[in-house]
Amino acid sequence: MWYNSMDVNHDGKVSVKDVQESENKFTNLHELVGEKANRVQDNIDAWWNKYIFVTGTKKEISESEFVEKLTEAYKIDKIAFKREMQACFDCIFAILDANKDRNIDLDEYINASKAFGHENEALVRKIFSLFNVDPENEALPVRDIVSAWVTFVTEEDSDVTDIIMEAFSEGL
Ligand SMILES: [Ca+2]
Ligand SMILES: [Ca+2]
């Protein structure tokens, strides 16, 4: 499910094309230009290379390779795997938190979802509302959304439901 959510252009595989599309969409949505756009694109690029492609050179990974990679890492050292996933989601949400206030507000959430190819705004709004959004500033602390993803990726017991799982079952 995580794999499919990164297939930004919906061609059935995760490749360098998805990287380009996610970068372009994200910088366009936030109307970033020039140096700033380049910097953000470099950061997004680095995230894909470090956490998704890993081996790097071919910049494409199949679903079975991806699942195998995660399963292997998990088997070798669960604590290290969890730490790695924490770093992975910390890194991407730090980028997606466009105004750097350590909260993801609805606009940032919608833009982040669009950047990853999820254009159904009504659905994205619904998923955002599943999270325990702080009513004060109507935003979601980055650490909460990161921990939801880490739980989703590292939870062994499939009976434990989490928000990300729920989001996928809603059709994300
Ligand atoms: Ca793709
Ligand atoms: Ca923010």
Q: What's the 16 CA to ligand 1 centre distance in angstroms?
A: 8
Question: From the CA of 139, which ligand is nearest?
Answer: 2
Q: What's the 167 CA to ligand 2 centre distance in angstroms?
A: 21
Quick one: 165 exposed, middle or buried, by C-beta within 10 A (0-12, 13-18, 19+)? middle
pTM, to two decimals:
0.92
Question: From the CA of 13, which ligand is nearest?
Answer: 1
In contact, 24 and 45? CB cutoff 8 Å: no
Give the domain CATH number at 156: 1.10.238.10
Structural domain of residue 47, as residue ranges? Answer: 2-169
> pLDDT tens digits, the chain, 172 residues: what are they?
899 999 999 999 999 999 999 999 999 999 999 999 999 999 999 999 999 998 667 789 999 999 999 999 999 999 999 999 999 999 999 999 999 999 999 999 999 999 999 999 999 999 999 887 877 778 999 999 999 999 999 987 767 677 888 888 887 7
Q: What's the 170 CA to ligand 1 centre distance in angstroms?
A: 21
